[in-house]
Amino acid sequence: MAQGTYVEKSYERDTTYITDRITADGSDGWPVEPGRYRLVVSRACPWANRAIIVRRLLGLEPVLSMGVCGPTHDADSWTFDLDPGGVDPVLGIPRIKDAYLKRYPDYPRGITVPAIVDVPRGEVVTNDFAQITLDLSTEWTAFHRGGAPDLYPEPLRAEMDEVMRRVYTEVNNGVYRCGFAGEQEAYDKAYDRLFTAIDWLSDRLESRRFLMGDSITEADVRLFTTLARFDPVYHGHFKCNRTTLTEMPVLWAYARDLFQTPGFGDTIDFVDIKAHYYEVHRDVNPTGVVPKGPELSGWLTEHGREALGGKPFGEGTPPGPVADGEQVPAGHGAV
């Protein structure tokens, strides 16, 4: 989860990251190598959830291991409290901060996930969440599974980059701008910006099955992780309450279409999501009380989006079952 600051009572996200890249040619000093790196995530975090989905869609589980932090953390760091003894079994550390400090002993910024760690050195390579997923698509191609989708198709990149930029600034970050607004005027502006973009997305998706056309791309991954959290968290906790997702016919059907696609809904842990936001954000929710709702079974109902044509994986195939040990715990999904 990225950090932010307040500027004149409005929320501004800190977008300074460790921008080293893991590439096929190793030009940044970090070559793609199977088994060398570990992706550290939390299922609660929307930015980390992107990396979980992309890794699964591309079939990178055998070559890029994954460590999962718990949903809550203190002011210091995300912790591996889901693991036996509270220690990541591969990295041998109790908190991801240790890998940041191993590389930069005086690291001055927020400790965020997702992060990729070089296992032999125990050092964070990068926490640049937007670039991480693009590089998984474009630099790790030698290790993609057979039938993996092209999530960043070259002919669409110019338009896709613009769509993703707007999704990020207005929706992914827009919900935070609402939730952490420090005064009424800042909140009102943030709310209007968010729902202007929501309406634009609804119009765009009314006649096309996915954001870029007939098959899924990274643009859909980036929007989905916000939509999955909208009713459980953002509608109430962040005051994004014009309508619930379930009251937005086009976006609700689109979100269900993705949720029911292998690689998307099987990564969503609603229990962890709610625990993180309601327990950690004590400035927004001082009591730390976590709501029991909303009802989630609707995620599994028919969506009707097939009528628009297209195939989620284009000429490719869906990923197989979730890897052993990486399943969302029973009772944490939409059941």
Residue-range domain boundaries for the chain: 4-143, 155-308
Beta bridge partners of 5: 12
Task: Let me know how many helices (H) and strands (E) the chain has, helices first.
Answer: 9, 6
- Catalytic choice (176, 187, 191, 234): 176
Average pLDDT in the 234-247 region?
98
Report the topology of domain 4-143.
Glutaredoxin (3.40.30)
Burial class (CB in 10 A: 0-12, 13-18, 19+), 147: middle
Question: Using the 8-state DSSP alphabet, how is residue 246 labeled?
Answer: G
pTM exceeds 0.75, yes or no: yes
Give the chain's mean pLDDT.
95
Q: Which two tokens stand for residue 35?
A: 């088994």
Q: Residue 240 catalytic?
A: no
Q: Is 176 a catalytic residue?
A: yes
Q: What is the C-alpha separation between 21 and 284, in angstroms, rounded? A: 35
Topology of the domain covering 155-308: Glutathione S-transferase Yfyf (Class Pi); Chain A, domain 2 (1.20.1050)
Q: Each residue of 169-225: pLDDT tens digit?
A: 999 999 999 999 999 999 999 999 999 999 999 999 999 999 999 999 999 999 999
Confidence at 6, pLDDT banded by 50, 70, 90: very low
Residue 63: both structure tokens together: 């070559």
- How confident is the model at residue 113, as a pLDDT? 97
- Residue from 11, 17, 37, 45 carrying the catalytic annotation: 45
**Short-list 51, 237, 220, 218, CA closest to 126:** 51
The amino acid at 225: T
